[in-house]
């Protein structure tokens, strides 16, 4: 994957001045201070043809051949990576009164059916990606819908914006309404065609996308596993053990499997490039299996709280050595904002008396997410040579935040206040490959 796709023009040289914050490794769980944090107040971030070229202290201004952006007093961080989000579900975010299985049938499936219409798919993709950028999110792992056109339009819109995106056609050949089911033969044909067109094109990658075990027949799961084996650098994304009624249903549908995760493992869908959303109702054997292959759980805290799915036991995953990334899961999740997502993750931790530190939360939404997706050679921090995707945060975005920041004694205290009180209003600008991508 190249750093600067031809369809996305990038300026030669861009320099931004502000307080640079990024991570060089994994911050310890719960630590208030960490050597993994690199904080460089008042520095220039230098970008040449979309790549990080280095930094300079604020008083050493680069010459006038650089395009200057002055963000003094603001925080510049690597762009957020949202490891699980549904592009068509902005239409049903904030829907009242249901748990997972009812919520799918009542709100989500009718909304997704509309994406068979190319016009709707086109406008929906553009609106979704522009919303991600407005929230400071520069990369995401995305579920469009079962319709091929929803994937084509999403990838095309991401390429137009120069974004690094992972997505794939949703597979569903049973237990879904008319207009949302495919079949094994046609689905395989569509996937092969989409892989040829989009996987490795520009900054895009294809993910075999199984909605969840109940909506695919064993034959379709096996087909997805075959394609993962045939194309070993594909990603695989699905949902796993989100809600107790769902877990029970999977048990009835797949009586021979040891566990929900085992359904995917038997189909060849458990590997280092697998992204499993939720993973709340797991046991020790499941966690060991995830760890052994290097698969990740996309923790989706605002969704888990909103749909009443349960509390993800992060420290159990941590203790077992399972990779965890941070996800909004809109529209089960209540906001595309990774600040709101981190605040929800903190709340989920607190409810289990295991508070998540601001460093660890922000690391997982940037470099940690990149590492879990094997993209840390390209994105995630400000290391020289990496792709320059980042966001600028304003501590003065709201009066309450500004007041709280004025009373903060350290950068970690400020960052925690930003997580707790902030949202997309705090994102002053988002840049893709150095270029400003927000109005």
Residues that bind Zn ion (CB under 5 A): 277, 329
What are the φ and ψ backbone dihedral angles of 257, each rounded to 5 degrees?
-75, 145
Residue nearest to Zn ion (CB): 329
Distance CA 369, CA 207 (A): 16
CB of 279 to Zn ion, least distance (A): 12
CB of 277 to Zn ion, least distance (A): 5
Nearer to Zn ion, 313 or 329 (CB): 329
CB of 332 to Zn ion, least distance (A): 6
Nearer to Zn ion, 201 or 329 (CB): 329
Coil, strand or helix at 45: strand
For 49-194, list the strands marked E by DSSP. 51-57, 67-78, 80-86, 137-143, 164-167, 170-171
Strand ranges across the sheet with 390-393? 51-57, 37-48, 13-23, 67-78, 390-393, 427-432, 435-436
CB of 249 to Zn ion, least distance (A): 16
Contact 82, 132 (CB under 8 A): yes
CB of 170 to Zn ion, least distance (A): 11
CB of 329 to Zn ion, least distance (A): 5
Contact 112, 143 (CB under 8 A): no
Of the candidates 334, 346, 141, the one whose C-alpha atom is nearest the C-alpha of residue 237 is 141
Residues in Cβ contact with 393 at an 8 Å cutoff, skipping those fewer than 6 apart? 74, 75, 76, 77, 136, 418, 422, 426, 427, 428
User: What is the largest distance, in Å, between two alpha-carbon atoms of the chain?
Assistant: 68
Nearer to Zn ion, 153 or 238 (CB): 238
Nearer to Zn ion, 47 or 210 (CB): 210
CB of 103 to Zn ion, least distance (A): 11
Q: Which two tokens stand for residue 412?
A: 């970690």
How far is the CA of 108 from the CAs of 117, 139, 170, 176, 246, in angstroms?
Answer: 16, 23, 13, 11, 16
Nearer to Zn ion, 89 or 357 (CB): 89
CB of 167 to Zn ion, least distance (A): 13
CB of 371 to Zn ion, least distance (A): 22
Coil, strand or helix at 86: strand
Instruction: Report H helices in 208-255.
Output: 218-230, 244-253
By CB atoms closer than 10 A (0-12, 13-18, 19+), residue 161 is buried
Nearer to Zn ion, 239 or 404 (CB): 239
Nearer to Zn ion, 93 or 415 (CB): 93
CA angle 7, 11, 17 (to 5 degrees): 135
Nearer to Zn ion, 220 or 238 (CB): 238
CB of 211 to Zn ion, least distance (A): 9
How far is the CA of 84 from the CAs of 116, 200, 332, in angstroms?
Answer: 22, 20, 11
**Count of CA atoms in the C-beta half-sphere (13 A) of 267:** 29
CB of 404 to Zn ion, least distance (A): 32
Nearer to Zn ion, 180 or 277 (CB): 277
Nearer to Zn ion, 277 or 317 (CB): 277
Nearer to Zn ion, 23 or 276 (CB): 276
CB of 86 to Zn ion, least distance (A): 6
Nearer to Zn ion, 325 or 381 (CB): 325
313 has which bridge partners? none
Contact 347, 301 (CB under 8 A): yes
């Amino acid at each position: 994957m190249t750093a600067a796709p031809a369809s996305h023009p990038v300026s030669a040289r861009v320099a931004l001045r502000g307080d640079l914050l990024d991570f060089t490794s994994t911050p310890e769980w719960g630590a208030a201070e960490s050597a993994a944090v690199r904080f460089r107040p008042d520095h220039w971030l230098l970008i040449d043809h979309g790549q990080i070229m280095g930094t300079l202290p604020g008083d050493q201004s680069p010459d006038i051949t650089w395009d200057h952006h002055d963000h003094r007093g603001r925080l510049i961080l690597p762009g957020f990576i949202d490891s699980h989000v549904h592009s068509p579900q902005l239409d049903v975010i904030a829907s009242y009164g249901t748990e997972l299985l009812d919520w799918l049938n009542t709100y989500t499936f009718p909304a997704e059916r509309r994406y068979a219409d190319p016009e709707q798919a086109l406008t929906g993709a553009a609106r979704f990606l522009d919303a991600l950028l407005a929230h400071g999110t520069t990369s995401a792992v995305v579920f469009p819908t079962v319709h091929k056109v929803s994937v084509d339009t999403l990838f095309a819109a991401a390429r137009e914006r120069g974004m690094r995106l992972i997505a794939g056609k949703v597979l569903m050949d049973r237990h879904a309404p008319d207009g949302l089911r495919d079949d094994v033969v046609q689905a395989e044909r569509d996937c092969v065609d989409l892989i040829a067109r989009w996987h490795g094109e520009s900054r895009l990658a294809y993910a075999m996308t199984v909605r969840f075990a109940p909506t695919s027949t064993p034959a379709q799961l096996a087909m997805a596993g075959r394609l993962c084996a045939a194309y070993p650098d594909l990603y695989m994304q699905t949902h796993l053990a989100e809600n107790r009624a769902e877990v029970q249903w999977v048990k009835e549908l797949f009586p021979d499997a040891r566990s929900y995760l085992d359904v995917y493992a038997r189909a060849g869908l458990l590997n280092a490039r697998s992204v499993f959303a939720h993973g709340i109702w797991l046991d020790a054997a499941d966690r060991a299996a995830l760890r052994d292959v290097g698969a990740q759980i996309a923790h989706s805290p605002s969704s888990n709280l909103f749909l009443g799915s349960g509390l993800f036991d992060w420290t159990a995953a941590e203790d077992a050595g399972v990779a965890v990334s941070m996800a909004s899961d809109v529209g089960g999740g209540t906001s595309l904002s990774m600040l709101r997502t981190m605040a929800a993750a903190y709340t989920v931790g607190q409810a289990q008396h295991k508070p998540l530190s601001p460093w660890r939360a922000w690391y997982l939404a940037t470099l940690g997410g990149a590492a879990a997706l094997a993209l840390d050679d390209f994105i995630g921090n400000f290391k020289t040579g990496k792709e320059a995707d980042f966001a600028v945060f304003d501590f003065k975005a709201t009066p309450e935040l500004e007041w709280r920041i004025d009373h903060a004694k350290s950068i970690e205290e400020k960052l925690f206040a930003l997580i707790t009180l902030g949202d997309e209003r705090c994102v002053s600008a988002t840049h893709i490959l150095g270029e400003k991508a927000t109005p």
